[in-house]
Structure 1
Amino acid sequence: MVFDLAKVKSDIEELKKQTSAPDLWDDPQRASSLMKTLQEKENILKEIEDLENQFADIEAYFELHEETGDEELLQELSQAVEDLERAVESFWVKTLFTGKYDDKDAVLSLHAGAGGVEAMDWTSMLMRMYMRWAEENGYSVEVLDVSEGEEAGVKSATMVIKGPYAYGKLKAEKGVHRLVRISPFDANKRRHTSFAQVEVVPYFDEDVDIDINPEDIRMDTFRSGGKGGQHQNKRESGVRLTHIPTGISVIVTSERSQHQNRAKAMKILKARLLQHYEKQREEELRKLKGEHKSAEWGNQIRSYVMQPYQMVKDHRTGYEVGNVGAVLDGDIDEFIIAYLKWSAGKDDGSGK
């Protein structure tokens, strides 16, 4: 993403005209999309103007210090420079969102690897990590489906995370996450290694432009009331959609009605198919170039080591920290920023 100030301003004017149209809400999906885009553009403009104002303040401090020689102004100037550096860094990160769908919300899915209850517990820990991260960033989370483990943890879970550049950020989390710890489920207190896979696709409020043959879709329905009891849903409102040619399936159980669950499942299925076909094209290009890509479960992107030492390390970027607890509490922004920088360098040939 490159910010052209004149274009941002002209885009805002055009969007204001469109959102002022009397028939705007005749198409609620389009209206919501336009309003969201307008808000994002206005936020960008405000950030640029704030940076300009901060820079002007620094110039004023500097000129005043030269005139008066007031040493206290130096402290204020130093603080103003630090504040500007942080603001510029935050704004610069946004320029790393160059992907086609980076501004979209995200569908994040987790799957436990082999290892039984230990892997399922690890998957639930990751689920909590992402929910805490979303909460800290002011993003909303809607859990679409959770398949709980028999003893503890979760086998799989799918949730929609909504917020500015949610997909652009969370795409950094795609891959296999590895945990090394003394298992609380092992009476002999042995060290175990567990794996969980994270999948992330963009979430489209509007309909995705992709052709799907209705005959290629199989729909299964089931009761979606969890483990039972008086609140269990007696109707088959849970929906599983399977795209037969690819085997890609989506389960949604969050809504009370089968119709609503099917609509949400179809949106996510389309997004996953879109990503699937784009990935196929990329793999064909890699084959032509003679490049090799690891299988999904071999693509370990990050290790979380709790024993015999404490460390979280991203194997792509090399970024690592020693506070595992903070990371599992949702402190993953630095990992995301490191990934965005690494990915930008890789794409332009200046990185690994």
Structure 2
Amino acid sequence: MQERTRLEKQLGEVKAMTQGFDDALALIELGEAEGDDAIVAEAEKDLEAIRAKAEKMQIESLLSGEADANDCYLEVHAGAGGTEAQDWAEMLLRMYTRWAERHGYKVEWLEESQGEEAGLKSATVKITGHNAYGWLKTESGVHRLVRISPYDSQARRHTSFSSAWVYPVIDDSIDIVIEDKDLKIDTYRASGAGGQHVNRTDSAVRITHMPSGIVVQCQNDRSQHRNRDTAMNMLKARLYEAELQRREEAAAATEATKSDIGWGHQIRSYVLQPYQMVKDLRTSVESGNPTAVLDGDIDDFLEASLASKVGMTRDGDSAAAS
């Protein structure tokens, strides 16, 4: 139902935009036919508003991944370099929290390890809001800062590295659906000690979950129905545990792909000296105003990296199809 509501809303917006476009064109034709420049100007303003709306919808269409709508966790870790890197980690985290606040997201601090003199060794925050993970998911990687160090008495230029890691908040409420066709249920006479009724009737139950190969059995009650209920609960618990293990293995595999926090692995460079420039090395998007970027103005970088990621996915799908 949530997916249906989302799709109906999007279709409604497209239909309204299409109707507005047609109406604006009709007004322009009418204004030109009657020589009324005011009507033409008004219709052109409407077209400009529709163009802006279309651009916004195009960006929102990139946030359609399975977990994009989720809240997210954001970890920041200082690289090698002591106080310099730890100060940069704190600046980087401030950039993301300011971005989140600009967009009305809630930021909750979960963990923080202070640096020896200044900054942070590491910190973890939870960012809560619609599409938080979708917007930030491409920010995982190494970030490089070049500046005149405020901690160097000789005012030399330093290069520092810190990493960001973004992953979605997953709802772990137990809601396991088991199809009857996936089950093999056997009843048999209990062989162990247990009361006369247990031993004289086929009250024991064994359930095999065919897709996973998990087998559970229960014979501790003389009622076959109660034994079956208990066995089903055992099966659900086993399936839930298996899913948790799968997630942990996937997280460990993802963790193993993390690159070193240093040269050659950065996704974005923030240069404050000898010139001022922020450049994303994946998309080549640049900004000549690093002060604004470090104050949370990173939408251009997020949009470009999302568009690039979706483009690569579509190209890969096309290649696979061909």
TM-score, normalised via structure 2 length: 0.69
Distance in 2, Cα, partners of 1:275 & 1:67? 64
Q: State whether residues 25 and 43 of structure 2, in contact with CA within 8 Å, keep that contact through their aligned partners in structure 1.
A: no
Gap regions ≥5 residues in structure 2: 177-243
2:43 maps to 1:64: no
1:51: which partner in 2?
A: 17
* 1:107 to 1:294, Cα distance in 2 relative to 1, 3 A: closer
* 1:209 positional shift: 8.8
User: Match of 1:51, SS?
Assistant: helix
Partner of 2:251: 276
2:126 aligned counterpart, secondary structure: strand
Pairwise CA distance, 1:58: 1.4
- 2:259 alignment counterpart: 295
Tell me the distance in 1 between the aligned counterparts of 2:5 and 2:111: 30
1:254-287 CA distances to partner (integer Å, 9 max, x unpaired)?
Answer: xxxxxxxxxxxxxxx989736525648xx9xxxx
Q: How far off its partner does 1:86 sit?
A: 1.1
In structure 1, distance between residues paired with 2:69 and 2:168: 9
- The answer for the alignment partner of 1:97 in structure 2 is 63
Does residue 110 of the first structure (1) align with residue 76 of the second (2)? yes
Deviation larger for 151-160 or 173-182: 151-160
Deviations 1:171-199 (A, max 9, x none): 12110000000011111000000111100
- SS of residue paired to 1:349: helix
Matched, 1:140 2:106: yes
Aligned to 2:141, which of 175, 180, 189? Answer: 175
Task: For residue 146 of structure 1, report the CA deviation from its aligned partner.
Answer: 1.3
Could you tell me the percent identity over the aligned residues? 47
* Separation in structure 2 between the aligned mates of residue 208 and residue 155 of structure 1, nearest angstrom: 35
| Whole-angstrom distance in 2 between the partners of 1:180 and 1:132 | 21
Say which SS state the counterpart of residue 103 (structure 1) adopts: coil
How many corresponding residue pairs?
A: 248
- What letter is aligned with 2:17? L
**Preserved contact between residue 28 and residue 43 of structure 2 (Cα < 8 Å):** yes
- Structure 1 distance, partners of 2:69, 2:258, is 27
Alignment check: 8 A CA contact 1:104 1:164 kept:
yes
Q: Distance in 2 between matches of 1:123 and 1:137?
A: 22
* 3-state DSSP of counterpart to 1:192: strand
Displacement after TM superposition at 1:66 (Å): 3.6
1:198 maps to 164
Note closer, same or farther for the CA distance 1:48–1:181 as it changes in structure 2 (3 Å cut): same
For the pair shown, the structure with the greater C-alpha radius of gyration is 2
Which amino acid counterpart does residue 72 of structure 1 have in structure 2? Answer: A
Residue type matched to 1:124 in 2?
A: E
CA offset at residue 165 of structure 1?
1.4
Please list the CA deviations of residues 146-180 of structure 1 after superposition, one character each: whole Å capped at 9, or x if unmatched: 11112111111111112221111101211000000
Matched, 1:86 2:52: yes
Q: Distance in 2 between matches of 1:209 and 1:143?
A: 29
Map 1:197-236 to 2 at 5 A: 197-207=163-173
Within the alignment, does 1:131 sit opposite 2:97 as a pair?
yes
Specify whether residues 183 and 155 from structure 1 end up closer, same or farther in structure 2 by C-alpha distance, changes over 3 A only: same
Distance 1:191 1:131 in 2: 27
Corresponding residue for residue 331 of structure 1:
297
> Which deviates further from its counterpart, 322-331 or 56-65?
56-65
TM-score (norm 1): 0.63
TM-aligned CA distance change 1:207 to 1:194, over 3 Å: farther
Counterpart of 2:300 in structure 1: which amino acid?
Answer: E
**Structure 1 unpaired stretches of 5+:** 1-14, 16-33, 211-268, 284-292
Please state how far the C-alpha of 1:55 moved relative to its aligned partner.
Answer: 2.2
Contact 2:32 2:40 in 1 (8 A): no
Q: CA RMSD in A?
A: 3.0
